[in-house]
């Protein structure tokens, strides 16, 4: 059974979940699709999603929680840091894999 934890941030109850292997696989496939579609994306949205936090994209937070995009948009970065810390605690392997993948990509660039 997956691990989950519930916290309240900004008056909203947020469920943070451990990702399954299948969810990580879908996350990776989505990253490939995002790269292919980057030219058609709104550049500001893409940069904000992937650049606001060093270790996690906003879309990753959505994957690891039950938050909707509209709810996430109403959080401040410091409030999101509380959620990110919980995400990191429940998904340490995901964050380790993300670091390894990005390190490999930067070596090939």
What digits encode the pLDDT tens for the residues 33-64?
766 666 555 666 766 777 788 888 898 999 99
What pTM does this model have?
Answer: 0.78
Exposure of 78 by Cβ count < 10 A (0-12 exposed, 13-18 middle, 19+ buried)? exposed
**Number of domains forming the structure of the chain:** 1
Better-predicted residue by pLDDT, 74 or 41: 74
Domain region containing 44 = 4-108
Instruction: Give the span between the Cα atoms of 17 and 70, in whole angstroms.
Output: 19
Exposure of 69 by Cβ count < 10 A (0-12 exposed, 13-18 middle, 19+ buried)? exposed
Instruction: Give the span between the Cα atoms of 102 and 80, in whole angstroms.
Output: 22
């Amino acid at each position: 059974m997956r691990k989950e934890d519930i916290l309240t941030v900004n008056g909203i109850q947020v469920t943070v979940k451990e990702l399954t292997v299948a969810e990580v696989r879908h996350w990776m496939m989505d990253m490939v699709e995002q790269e292919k579609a980057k030219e058609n994306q709104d550049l500001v949205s893409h940069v904000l999603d992937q650049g606001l936090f060093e270790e996690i994209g906003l879309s990753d937070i959505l994957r690891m929680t039950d938050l909707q995009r509209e709810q996430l948009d109403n959080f401040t970065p410091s409030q999101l840091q509380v959620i990110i810390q919980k995400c990191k605690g429940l998904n340490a392997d995901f964050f380790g894999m993300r670091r390894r993948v990005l390190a490999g990509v930067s070596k090939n660039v």
